[in-house]
Amino acid sequence: MLFASEVGKSYSERTLFNGLTLTIEAGDRVALIGPNGSGKTTLLEILAGDLDADEGNVDRKRGVTVGYLRQEPDAFSDKSLLAEVLDADVEANALAEEIAVAEGDLATETDVERQGELLDRISVLYMELEEAGGDAREHQAKAILAGLGFKQSDFQRPISEFSGGWVMRAGLARLLFRNPDLLLLDEPTNHLDLEANVWFEKYLTGFKGGVIVTSHDREFLNQAANRVVAIEPGEVVVHRGNYDHYLQSRDRVLEIKQATAARQGRQIAKQMRFVERFRSKATKASQVQSRLKQLEKMDVVKIPRATKKVRYKFPEPPRGGNEAITLRGIKKAYGENIVYDGLDLTLYRGDRVALVGPNGAGKTTLLKILAGVLEFDGGRRKTGHNTITTYYAQHVLELLNPRNTLLGELRNSSPLEPDQNLRNTLGGFLFSGDDVDKQISVLSGGEKARVALAKLLLQPSNLLFMDEPTNHLDIASREILADALGDYKGTICFITHDRTLIRQVANKIIEIDAGVATVFPGDYDGYLHRKQLEDEARKATVDLKPENSRRAIVISGRSVNGNGVAPRTSHEADRRRMLDDEARKLKERVNYVTASLDDYEGRISELEHRFAEPELYEDADRLASLGKQYRVMKDERDALWEEWESLTARAEEVERELGTGV
């Protein structure tokens, strides 16, 4: 499909990559990774034919079509969203126009022989249009738009009414509808929410052509990619497998390189000792020169620099009350669109809450109400005792002073912090050495986001709200953010489409849907498991049609005919099998949670015995550390008890429906 051979590209004296050889076939889904500025976009432009390489060749098979999604949106007309997507299918549109012209000619043609020719031509054109999708094209376009988060009411809206992020989604929809043989996608997940992200990765795994994609979403790369091309310092590495497999392979390669480099170092030292010892002896001159030539020819192994986690200390926030913030009877509407009507919600000290839910459900509205930056129409918002809130959204990047240096920007917001701690904090966000003296004005969007996050986390707050904090951040920066949030001592509530961040940070999930906030204690995987069980239960209890035509009455999920007799149908058998399967999964999860509870109870009991030891109170740091462990364990144990209660309650319902319970 596509073959790149020994491709290289440089700008001035800086070489982005060279010697890059890559073959893409149908079914390949390649994750193109590398640090910001490593040349990923440049390589995509070369593969798309928009930019010439300095060396090497890029060849495509005859007839292969390429679709390229850039980071900046393409120009649109002022047509409706659906019309813009449908217009992307140039071949089908050309056929439709040709059919319209031929039918117009037929309407005015009087010659019988010519009429027959036109009818034959129209018939052929309709067959070709049918092969290109025919009447199903509009349904397909709508399905893609819906998958990317557009509502049906959006389909007829002009593109000009949409914001930049939605225009990017429209561009992606148009590209997917074109269905080219090869997709080149530059950061397609930047403007997708969690649900659209999940839909998109499933779309790509079923895509028949080839894909090359860049993304900072680790979970997305793991799910969607089956190959990795990594632009690393001094080399391009091609690896078969997903992103995590690549990292494991890179670690193994690094270990081998380190061992080889150490062995080479010993060989070089040995040869140099010989050279230094006999350099001045004429009888050994030829041997000395021979060994120097061997050293010159040696291909010295270079160890790539690994980004290490930098430890730094955030200001200790004041201890707040048990209830960090409470909403009671919140009402919020935008015109006739009622988002919330009587919402009650409490966040507790130590909560690390991820807000999830379908697009347009009101997640950002809720976050802004919680953060106190959006007025509401009714109800009450109350922060807890001694609570200090901070709020991160994309607008905070605009609040950075472009004339300040990085160090100066942090110093202005945290004047009491020692400069060394400010430098360490910036180092933790990947700014090292002279970077701290750069002006804000010269930074990229991702670099500004890292400065804003560092500045925010230096504030002595104990309640932090964050709206899409991973936007503009590469994978390394996202890992740094996860580390920082892990060290943060306060309560967190955030929205993100990065599932890796949710898994690493959240200990509670709140799902927002149709103005209702449902709290799921525990981590993200536990939430997904419970959602799966709920979906299976919902499918199992749908109202099934009876075999006869009499009116059906649904009683406790069982279909009963007009005579009050429950027919034994294959549908009921299917339903019982699904309930049996749910019961089995519930039992497995209950057993797992029960075992986890036993483990937690044992560890908590052990800590309580430790607290009874008088000598422990002589070591304040150790006591504080064990106290923190104790609080965290109790919170996690309580969350598990809530999950256990929810699981066992559902298990009893399933047993009753199966007729075997109490």
Which H, E and C letters describe 460-513, residue by residue?
Answer: CCCEEEEECCCCCCCHHHHHHHHHHHHHCCCEEEEECCCHHHHHHHCCEEEEEE
Phi, psi of 162 (to 5 degrees): -90, 150
Q: What is the pLDDT of residue 277?
A: 65
At residue 617, what is the residue type?
Y
Q: What is the pLDDT of residue 471?
A: 80
Q: What is the pLDDT of residue 661?
A: 41
User: Which of 211, 212, 209 is closest to 230 using CA atoms?
Assistant: 212
At residue 407, what is the residue type?
L
CB 128 within 8 A of CB 147: no
Q: How many helices (H) and strands (E) does the chain have?
A: 19, 20
Q: What is the pLDDT of residue 108?
A: 80
384 secondary structure, DSSP code: -
Which H, E and C letters describe 576-641, residue by residue?
Answer: HHHHHHHHHHHHHHHHHHHHHHHHHHHHHHHHHHHHCCHHHHHCHHHHHHHHHHHHHHHHHHHHHH
Task: Tell me how far apart the alpha carbons of residues 239 and 248 are, in angstroms, rounded to a whole number.
Answer: 11
Task: Tell me how far apart the alpha carbons of residues 44 and 121 are, in angstroms, rounded to a whole number.
Answer: 41
User: Which of 377, 378, 390 is closest to 325 using CA atoms?
Assistant: 390
Task: Tell me how far apart the alpha carbons of residues 499 and 482 are, in angstroms, rounded to a whole number.
Answer: 12
- Complete DSSP assignment for 160-183: GGS-HHHHHHHHHHHHHHH--SEE
Q: What is the pLDDT of residue 321?
A: 87
Task: Tell me how far apart the alpha carbons of residues 598 and 32 are, in angstroms, rounded to a whole number.
Answer: 44
Q: What is the pLDDT of residue 93?
A: 65
Residue pLDDT, tens place only, 248-299: 777 776 666 666 666 666 666 666 776 666 666 666 566 666 766 666 666 6
Q: Are strands 389-392 and 463-467 parallel, antiparallel or unpaired?
A: parallel
CA angle, 169 then 170 then 173, to 5°: 90
CB 512 within 8 A of CB 356: yes
CA distances from residue 55 to 5, 216, 230, 299 in whole angstroms, order as listed: 9, 28, 19, 23
- Complete DSSP assignment for 292-345: HHHHHH-----PPPPPPPPP--PPPPPP--SEEEEEEEEEEEETTEEEEEEEEE
User: Which of 585, 564, 596 is closest to 651 using CA atoms?
Assistant: 585
**Could you identify the residue written with the tokens 């007839």?**
63
Task: Tell me how far apart the alpha carbons of residues 8 and 20 are, in angstroms, rounded to a whole number.
Answer: 7
Q: Element (H or E) spanning 126, and its range? A: helix 112-131
Q: What is the pLDDT of residue 649?
A: 78
Q: What is the pLDDT of residue 325?
A: 94
CA distances from residue 279 to 266, 283, 555, 590, 660 in whole angstroms, order as listed: 20, 10, 100, 76, 93
For the chain, 662 residues long, the average pLDDT of each consecutive 10-residue run is 87 82 91 84 90 89 89 76 79 69 78 78 72 68 88 87 85 89 91 87 91 90 90 83 82 66 67 66 65 64 47 71 92 91 91 89 92 93 92 84 91 86 83 87 84 84 90 79 84 92 90 89 84 72 42 31 42 72 81 76 74 68 74 79 78 74 38
CB 476 within 8 A of CB 307: yes
Residue 4 pairs in a beta bridge with: 22, 58
At residue 38, what is the residue type?
S
